[in-house]
Every structure is written in C-alpha cells, then in structure tokens.
Amino acid sequence: MKHYGKFYIDGAWVDSTGPRVQELVDPTTGSVFATVAMGEIEDVNLAVAAARRAFVDYSRSSIETRYELIGRIIHAYEKRADDFSMAIAQEVGIPRSARAQVAGPVEHMKVARELLKKYPFESRMGDTIIRREPLGVCALISPWNWPIQTTVIKLIYALAAGCTVVSKASINSPVSAVLLGEVLEEAGVPKGVFNLVNGSGRVIGEALSNHPDVDMISFTGSTGAGQQVGESAARSIKRVCLELGGKSANIVLQDADLEKAARWNVQRCFFNAGQSCHAPSRMLVHESQIEALIPYLVDEVNKFRLGDPRDLATTMGPVVSQTQFDSIQRHIQSAIDEGARLVVGGTGRPEGLEQGFFTRPTVFVDVAPNMTISREEIFGPVLAVVPYATETEALEIANDSPYGLGGYVFSGDRRKGYEFASGLRAGRVCFNGAATNSITPMGGYKQSGIGRSMGAFGLEEYLEIKSVYGFEAEAVGLPELFA
C-alpha cells in the first residue's frame, strides 16, 4: 500500500514533523488504497517561513518571468493528465469521462498567462501613479469536489500576481495535490514560492488562518467551514476570498422550451454526482407544467451510467465518502417524510452496486419552498422541483435562500429572461443553459462567499493597490485608469 508521507516545503519533499497518518478510502469499493501523512502546526510554520523568504525576490520578478513560468507549468501539467485523471477517480470517485475536471485547469492557466500581457499593473489617475502590487504570502485551501481545478485557479493567479503560496488540499484528495506539487517542481517554480502541506482543516486550516505571516486566505468549501476561516483570519486582519455553499435555482418560465430545460437541468445538477456548489438543485416550474416535465426528467436521469469511475463508459461515480453518502440518504428520506413526490431514485444504493458509496440519482416534484431539500445544500444527485404560480412568486422563491452562488433562467423571450436574471441575487446567472467561461469572474452573494476568482477580477484578489504621488505620472507615459 502506497504511503504519501512527504510535503513540498522550500523547494524540497520533506517528511512531516509529526507521526499522524490517515487512511485513504476508494469510494468505489469502500476499501483503503493508501495512507497520507497528516501535517502539524510546525509544518505550517516551516512552509509559511519559506514562502515569506521567497516573497522578497519573487514579488519583484518581471512579468516576462512569470509568463514563462506559467508556460512551463502548463507544459508539465499536460504531460501528467492521465495521472491526474486516475488519481481523482480513485480518491474521490470522479469519472474519467468527466474530462473538464482535468482539461479545465489548462484553460484557466492559459487565461492567467495571457492576462499578464495586458493587465495594467501600473496606470495613472491624473498626476498620481496607481500601482497594483503582490499581496504577500497566500494560503490556498481547496475542496475535494474539484480538487485540481480549484487549486489551480487559486495558485495560478497568485503566481501571476507575484505572490508566494502555501497550499492545503482536502484530506479526501491529497493524491492529486501531491501530483500538482510534482508538476510545479518539474516546471522549476522557484524555491519557496509554492509549498504544500496535507492535513486536516482543524489543524492545518486553522493554523494558516491564524498565522501572522499569512497575508491572505483563499478558501473554497462549506459555508460553515468558511465562517470559521473568516473568524480566524479576522484576528490578524487578513484578506479573505471565500467561495462557499450554494442552493442554486433554475427558473423555467412558461414560454421556455420545457424539454431542453429539463434535460439540461438534470445533466448540470447531477454532474460529478451532484457534488457541485453551482448545481441547479432547485428547479422552479409553473404549476401547470409539472406533469409535462416529469417524463423528460425521468428519461434524462435514466441515461446516467453508474459504475467504476475508472471506466470511460461511466458517467456517474460514487459520492466521496460514507459521511457524504449518509447525509444524502438523510436528505432523501426527509423529502419523503415531508411529503414531496418521488418520481425517480430514492434511498439506498443503485441495483448491482452494493459496495462503495453509490447513491441513486433522485428527483422529487411538488416540493414546497420550506422543505429541507429546498433549503439545505445536499451535495448529491438530488433535484427538487418546486412549483410556482406567478413569475413574481418564482423570483421570491429563488431569492429566498441564504445562498447566492449561481442562478439559471430558461425563457423563449431573451428580454424577459434578461430582466428576470437581473433580479436574481446570485454571482453567476446563465440563460437557456449558456456555458460559463474562464475569463469572467466567479463568486457569490450572501452566504455563498466573499470575493471573486478567475480573470482580471480573480487576479486582483492577490494584489494590493498603492497610490504614488509627486512623480508626474503623465510624463512617464502610463495610461489613464478611467480614460
């Protein structure tokens, strides 16, 4: 059995300072496949100190140097694509057929690299120079549901900005984190610029959030954990960027293509076995169209092929853990108990999949807005179809949530759809199933987070703004900021 016992600190793979080890369970079989070292506070101290030393030189590196570095990272990453695909299939059950999980990070790295060519790190406002400078040492805490992409987005914009980092992956996905460390080592990331420590959020996450030499925390995870990170970071006045939970609504207006809306909603909601914070897990449909909708939903659910995520024919793997499986089962049972109508799926494992953490893709209709599955983030393949009587009521139901991460609207009238989208309190809204991209910002309203990632807005999370007076900025040829 393989043991992942080393962390990447100050340009070298080193042993943990403590003895603790955790077993890694393959969610497809429920059996242990490896062990990983669990870091201690002293490991965090060593990693932060290395990042602080490296920041002195790396923060002054040229744009050209960072551009070339990102190019080398892309090249090294692409050579390991199959390794990443196999790793996340084994450690978190993500099907190898979900190519976006491995291919997506390349696109994000390319966007960050090209942004370096045109981003105004120096500009002017009248006779004042406006400088955007690297923020400092950044702690990056990533989740298991998008274990590579989330880490890459944080990391690549930090490096583009000139920051140094200490990275902590979820303890459910440390293998892909180690692979990413190997990629960065091969790419020649300068000593101390990137550091990796595996371990629990209770120890490593808390230590990073409290550390006086960490300037910024970028965290993706549950709202509850994000609250704890924010509270800890506030003690030393750190900047925080938080992408937290979601309970996104897809509002299907009466003039929409009902079949298209239904099939798209099932595929988007159940992608990654529903373990996505942007999943449209609430589908709001006019009360007169519910019965017409059901056959499309059931047919689309039945298209999923559940099985071993290492099999390229599999389109839905297991959920990540026994804990996650149990939580999903409780939510499905709560919907049954509270009177929602089950149209496909239900409690228990799918037929023929008696081991591992497989759960049945499930759809309920006639779900009231106050039911548990309407209110809580389930993080599994469970869709709640909520009827509405008027568009005004639909908007009220959609916004009646502590979350505000994503929103979706289907309509045959683009103007009406745009007006409705404008009323949604969410950070990203898609019309008629439109795809998102790697250039525009991602983030949430309300308890779904603080700050933005990706593109120019994501880069700015890792930059400080400085006003410099007395240098006759116009004379040195800088562009006017708001010209």
**CB–CB of 238/217 below 8 Å?**
yes
CA distances from 282 to 221, 251, 257, 333, 364 (A): 20, 8, 18, 17, 10
Q: How far apart are CA 208 and CA 223, in angstroms?
A: 18
Q: Which residues of 353-369 are buried (b: 16+ CB within 10 A; e: fewer)?
A: beebbbbbbbbbbbbeb
Half-sphere CA count of 338, side-chain side, radius 13 A: 20
In terms of C-beta density within 10 A (0-12 exposed, 13-18 middle, 19 or more buried), how is residue 202 classed? exposed
Residues marked active site are found at: 243, 277
- Give phi and psi for 30, each to the nearest 5: 80, 10
Q: Please report which residue ranges of 338-454 form alpha helices under DSSP H.
A: 372-375, 391-399, 414-422
Centroid of chain to Cα 163: 20
- Maximum pairwise Cα distance, the chain: 74
Q: Which helix (H) or strand (E) holds 366?
A: none
Helix, coil or strand: residue 13: strand
Q: Is the dihedral of CA 434, 104, 357, 202 positive or negative?
A: negative
